Structure 1
Amino acid sequence: MTQSSTIVALSSGALPSGVAVIRLSGPRAFPAVAALVGDLPPPRHLTLRSLTAPESGQPLDTGLIAIFPAPHSFTGEDCAELQVHGSPAGVKAILTALTAFEGIALAGPGDFTRRAFENGKLDLVAIEGLGDLLAAETETQRRQALARLDGQLSEQIILWRVLLLDARAEIEARLDFSDEDDVPFELPAHFVSDLELLQAALAESLAGYERGRIAREGFRIVLAGAPNAGKSSLLNRLAGSDLAIVTAEAGTTRDTKDVSIDLGGQLVTLTDTAGLRDTDSLAEAEGVRRARKAMHAADLVLWLSAPDAVSDPDADQSAAPIWRIATKADLGPPAQEAQFSVSTQTGEGLEPLLNALKTHIEARLGPSEPSLVSHMRDKAALEAAIAAIGTALARLDQPELCAEDLRRAADGLAGLIGLMDSEAVLDRLFAGFCIGK
């Protein structure tokens, strides 16, 4: 499929549904829609039209039609949207009629968004924000994704990159044009302090990565402990559904099981794990290995112990904070000292536990809006830029190497938003100095 081709796809999700939205993008979009509906409506106006198969003249459906001429569309190309009835047969008939035209093909995953990027309508950070928005399950995730999609992080990255280009231009001007009378040899007095302030700003944004990651991916809570400690029962009670098998037999859970819940507007992923104990069973031993792995990746571990648990293994298996939870409080006093005592049978202690979890998560996220630095790609680019600036500051007496360090920092940030322009530094340089006179 070439960029000059036209793509079409169902954009509104699974059928059947009340309404189905069919989207087209490309140079053949308007002629193809006109062949089905007759006269096209005015741009960006929903208009009721009857759709007819061009070859047979058979009616296909009746729906609302909208066209979006380039470049004022999502993809930057001519786009059209057909809002029709969400009938599987009806949608299939319309797609068949549209793809019968030469130069029109079914779109693949992400093809519309890819064209939006290639035509400069969205950068990579905004595209990630769009993906996060589509996957958002909680209010916190929605706000974070929408801010990223709206370009708040991209604008900051562009500003950082401009400052790096300015700094590099200062050095290269003195390397290439040191014989010019209007180009001073010494770097400006504020050069070092400006780079240090930029490095500090990058570090401050990087420091919010964990908060942003938790908001986007969810806060990971692992339920761990001995076999028959009540992990699956607590998972079911917190999730409000019988998702995990619960029996009186120890060792029922052999694998990790993730369940997502909305806790005070924050996505929380609860992970049920196999009971930790020495075992000769290969299947159970693999479950124990996976349980320990989950604990190491957790944001918080709830270590459960029960009066009738078959063993009491050591809880020191995680770098994350560990809360000790005494379960099965209805059977008697806890077997050991615990921060919380709960019963999934009576509900005792569950509300204080949930309130404590909400408070703990809010403290981890902080009082402000979620950090927009939330993807591993963000983290890697910022770390690389901070390191490159640090190296540049250490090599001010070697201007060629210093300029190369600043180039690497700027290019790393440019790659983060999908912008890479080798001529940009020259543009900045000629704008700032009287060169080429």
Structure 2
Amino acid sequence: MTIERHDTIFALSSGAAPSGVAVIRFSGANVRFGLETLIGDVPAPRMAALRTLRAPGSEDILDRGLVLFFPGPASFTGEDVAELQVHGGRAVIASVLKALGTLPGYRHAEAGEFTRRAFENGRADLTEIEGLADLVAAETEMQRRLAVRQAEGELRKLYEDWRHRLIRARALIEAGLDFVDEEDVPDDVMAPAWQEAASVAREMAAHLDDQHFGERVRSGFEVVLLGAPNVGKSSLMNALVRREAAIVTAEPGTTRDLIEVALDIDGHAVTLIDTAGLRETESVVEREGIARARRRAGVADLVLALSDEDSWPETISENGPILRVRTKLDLIDSDSKRVASEADVAVSARSGTGLDNLIRAIGGALRLARPMPSALITRTRQRDGIARSLAYLQELEREGDRAIEVKAELLRSAADALGRVTGKVDVEDLLDVIFAEFCIGK
């Protein structure tokens, strides 16, 4: 089906029925006509008005609810937009959507079409739209915070600042080329251009050097449970996820492969990874499981080193911090002074003692490992675009005394690479992929 961009689109924008209230949104050139047809007038802009909705061409009452009108271009989509807040019963929603579908020039919206119109009408750039998608999908507090920052334009402001500085640098270079004989163009007009380009390159390199923190916030930090057989790794995992995710037996070597579970720990999306117990063994399968455990711990964001004694696994992680966790607290004499002599946290998976402390300690370790800056890369697409722009600037620095025209072209390419990240330049092939993430009505 060919999508007509000039149509007025409509959709249910709230959750699935039944619900207390349903929000039905429509956007386009014929919004005013639709309001006049359904309720008899157009309410004052941005003022909620209680109105009776009637089927087109009849006096049949569909419902009575609140109506809001947002005139373009100062609306979410940049077009005239209206929202109907009606009762959330299935029959009510169906009748209102059916009535809208009978209006000339109206059709049901495609997935993400409201947001796509916001992009096409200059109301949001691609980084803000990706932040909005992340906000809708956010399941943890950290994901929400990061998504809000991006949806509010933190990345856009940073990337557009870089792009404008590169465009200005290129303008200075071209001024030096085109107007070198003009008296009001100084001889050293190009010097600030090279300095500006070098400054942007340094800022980009620092921005990329975030250890993929933004992607981790979206997809989940990796937390690895590490320790000897039967120290309580699988029991602790089951206690944290509150279900039997891993098999627990008294037989050493029960866990031989990696077991991964996603959960929310202290506001962080976390992939918790149970591993094979570290020991010397003749079993080929178990040795491979131990090797995998060591490799995964080496790249983890956090390692929980478990022990039911006072000896701990060797320090393996070079990427993230380590928390020493003393397990089986329920089996230790309460008067013992050795319980937390070297441990960061002491827990009992059986009784639940110390689990709250462990959860807080995991959250604190992840926050301390990398405080969240104001603007963070959250997607591989963004990272690749910035890396491409930086590569052009680094090539510019290596060019030395080569033709100024070549350097100017490298500056143009660097600015265009940034423009593709925000959607300013040549991104038509990306749009269907990006907006497919949105649900109908958004």
TM-score by length of 2: 0.79
The equivalent of 1:378 in structure 2 is: 382
Change beyond 3 A, Cα 1:130–1:247? same
How far did residue 243 of structure 1 move?
5.6
CA spacing shift, 1:252–1:57, aligned 2, 3 Å? farther
User: What is the rounded CA distance, in whole Å, between the counterparts of 2:37 and 2:49 in structure 1?
Assistant: 16
Equivalent AA in structure 2 for residue 106 of structure 1: H
Report the equivalent of 1:389.
393
Alignment-mate amino acid for residue 389 of structure 2 = A
Aligned-residue sequence identity (percent) comes to: 41
- Contact persistence 1:7–1:105 (CA under 8 A): yes
Question: In the alignment, what sits opposite 1:175?
Answer: 177
Secondary structure at the aligned position of 1:190 is classed as: helix
**Normalising to structure 1: TM-score of the pair?**
0.80
With over 3 angstroms needed to count, the CA separation of the structure-2 counterparts of 1:99 and 1:192, relative to structure 1, is same
Q: Which residue of 1 aligns with 2:261?
A: 258
Residues 211 and 247 of structure 1: is their aligned pair in 2 closer, same or farther, counting only changes over 3 Å?
A: closer
Which piece of structure 1 moves more, 123-132 or 385-394? 385-394
Are 1:37 and 2:39 matched, yes or no? yes
The residue that corresponds to 1:405 in the other structure is 410
Query: Is the Cα contact below 8 Å between 1:279 and 1:285 reproduced in 2?
Result: yes
For 2:114 and 2:292, how far apart are their aligned partners in 1?
Answer: 39
- What's the CA shift for 1:76? 0.6
Query: Structure 1 residue 88: deviation in Å?
Result: 1.6
- In the alignment, which residue of structure 1 is the partner of 2:431? none
The alpha-carbon deviation at position 217 of structure 1 amounts to: 3.9
**Cα distance, 1:347–1:278 mapped onto 2, change above 3 Å:** farther
Give the structure 1 partner of residue 65 of structure 2: 63
Flag the 1:155–1:315 CA change in 2: closer, same or farther, 3 A: closer
Structure 2: distance between partners of 1:317 and 1:152: 32
CA apart distance, 1:165: 0.9
> Per-residue deviation at 1:297?
6.0
Shift of 1:371: 3.9
Residue type at the aligned position of 1:261: D
Change (3 A) 1:278 1:38: farther
Partner of 1:346: 351
For residue 243 of structure 2, what is the aligned residue in structure 1? 242
Contact preservation (8 Å) 2:300, 2:317:
no
Secondary structure of 1:400's aligned partner: helix
Does the C-alpha gap of structure 1 residues 99 and 402 become closer, same or farther in structure 2, counting only changes over 3 Å?
A: same
Aligned counterparts, 1:312-331, within 5 A? 320-321=320-321, 323=323, 325-331=325-331
Contact 1:44 1:68 in 2 (8 A): yes
Matched AA of 1:118 = E
Residue matched to 2:438: none
8 Å CA contact 2:256, 2:290 repeated in 1? no
Alignment of 1:41-56 (within 5 A): 41-55=43-57
Per the TM alignment, residue 415 of structure 1 is displaced from its structure 2 partner at its CA by 1.2
2:421 aligned to 413, 416, 420, which one?
416
2:348 and 2:76 map into 1 onto residues whose CA distance is 53
Kindly tell me the number of residue pairs found equivalent between the two proteins.
409
Q: Closer, same or farther in 2 for the Cα pair 1:327/1:112, shift >3 Å?
A: same
